[in-house]
Structure 1
Amino acid sequence: MTLLRDQDLAHAFDRAADSYDRLVAMNPGYHADLRRSARRLQLPDGGAGLRLLDLGCGTGASTAALLRAAPRAEITAVDASAGMLERAAAKSWPSRVTFVHASAEELALRETGGTGAYDAVFAAYLLRNVTDVDGVLASVQALLRPGGRLAVHEYSLSGRALHRALWTALCRTVIIPAGTLTGDRDLYHHLWHSVLAFDTAPELTARLVRGGWGGVRSVPMPGWSTGVVHTFIARRDALRPAGATA
């Protein structure tokens, strides 16, 4: 299967926006895992005085997780899908949460010029869906202040055949049938194959190190998603310019 990319993928998410929350609710660990990854940023004092970026916010599940981890922070939530963003913005949020329609690259050009506007970035289920992973990670570096933290929450398989088979079985028996009922079969076929084609957890860890990130580590999720979903923690190295390679 050819993976959906860029505008085609954004349009697919636009079409799926109305049913997306119902589908993810079928996964009992979905929201708990997002909250766990947001906590792994280890933001002090409830995020007081911090500017945080939720990159690829979708319908706002990751935004809610970040807000719960840092209830005193200022949060900017960004997505390239207008439909998903509209769904997110329609929910009830405190005034310190703002939604922006943009890609990571557009936001980096718009806001910083490399000086770093944010103290931390949370990117959930984003990197699999971009054409230029390294380019997006460089844009994220530009958006972070030196020493700023990154948490990537992603379907990134362990590399073991068992977890690859588990993911395929889950997609064939639950995810794709559910997506077919809502008319979004192509999007959920994309989800299946995008995970298989994406970096394994060791590969993504190595990619972050090559990209000049410091303190890189990957942490698995507990329960059924062990070996399927990981949090990747990193920081923008204060001693290295944004986007520099190691």
Structure 2
Amino acid sequence: MTLLRDHDLARAFDHASRTYDRLTALNPGYRTDLLRSARRLRLPDDGAGLHVLDLGCGTGASTRALLRAAPRARITAVDASGGMLRQALAEPWPDRVRFLHLSAEELPTAGEGPFDAVFAAYLFRNVTDPDAVLHSVRTLLKPGGRLAVHEYSLGGSPAQRALWTAVCQGFVIPAGTLTGDRALYRHLWHSVLDFDAAPDFTGRLTRAGFADARALPLAGWQTGITHTFVARNGPVPAAAGPARQSFAGTAAAPVPTVEAGR
């Protein structure tokens, strides 16, 4: 199967956006695991005075997790799917949260940042060039800033691949077929099988210049299937310009900033 990318993937998420939260709610531990990963950023003082990027925020479940983990932080949440963002904006948000319709690839030229921390949930296996996106994250992240990636990334054993395939074929794809989104959920199945195993993504982070990269397991049936990857920004790449001081911490068309605080 050819994986969905760029505009095709954004359109698939647009179509699935109305039923997406109902389907993910059937996954035991989905929101609990997001919160656990957000807390692994270990932001001090409930995030007071910090600016956090939620990269690939979808319908806002990851943004809610960040709000609970760092209730005093300022959060900028971005996604390439306008449909997913509309679902996010249907809920009330505090003034310190805003949403932007931007892809991960567009963000470095959008005049946003710098950020004290970046949270990316279910993003990297969906981008065409994960190394380029990691480079962009480093240019947006302050020196020493913290990164947490919450992602399906198999531990590498045949049993984990078999379990993932069984779950997708027995439940995820049939459920997605009923909502008219079979292509998206087949993409989910194959994107996880094709993505880095946990040790490989940890190595990718290190090669991209992140320090102290680690893969942390999550509990429940997704143990060995979903991980939190944590790291901190190393020296700023030359292309990013002068170092900033901080705490020791083909895209969808851009739309004007959408402010949330209703």
TM-score normalised over the length of structure 2: 0.89
Within the alignment, does 1:103 sit opposite 2:103 as a pair? yes
- After superposition, the C-alpha distances for 1:215-243 in whole angstroms (9 at most, x for unaligned) are 10000101110000000001111x34277
Question: Following TM superposition, by how much is the alpha carbon of 1:119 offset from its aligned partner in structure 2, in angstroms?
Answer: 0.3
Structure 1 residue identity aligned to 2:202: T
CA distance in 1, matches of 2:103, 2:136: 10
Paired residue for 1:172? 169
1:47-196 to 2 correspondence within 5 Å?
47-111=47-111, 117-196=114-193
Within the alignment, does 1:241 sit opposite 2:237 as a pair? yes
- Aligned partners of 1:139 and 1:243 also within 8 Å: no
CA distance in 1, matches of 2:167, 2:238: 38
- Aligned partners of 2:139 and 2:236 also within 8 Å: no
Question: Following TM superposition, by how much is the alpha carbon of 1:71 offset from its aligned partner in structure 2, in angstroms?
Answer: 0.3
CA distance in 1, matches of 2:84, 2:236: 35
Paired residue for 2:211? 214
In the comparison of the two structures, how many residue pairs are matched? 240
Q: Which has the higher contact order (CA 8 A, sep 6+)?
A: 2
The SS at the match of 1:111 is coil
CA distance in 2, matches of 1:51, 1:231: 20
Over the matched positions of the two proteins, sequence identity in percent amounts to 68
- After superposition, the C-alpha distances for 1:17-39 in whole angstroms (9 at most, x for unaligned) are 00000000001210000000000
CA distance in 1, matches of 2:239, 2:117: 16
The gaps in structure 2 that reach 5 residues or longer are 241-262
- Which residue of 226, 229, 232 corresponds with 1:229? 226
Structure 1 residue identity aligned to 2:107: L
- Aligned partners of 1:236 and 1:242 also within 8 Å: no
CA distance in 1, matches of 2:169, 2:83: 26
- Aligned partners of 2:138 and 2:236 also within 8 Å: no
The gaps in structure 1 that reach 5 residues or longer are none
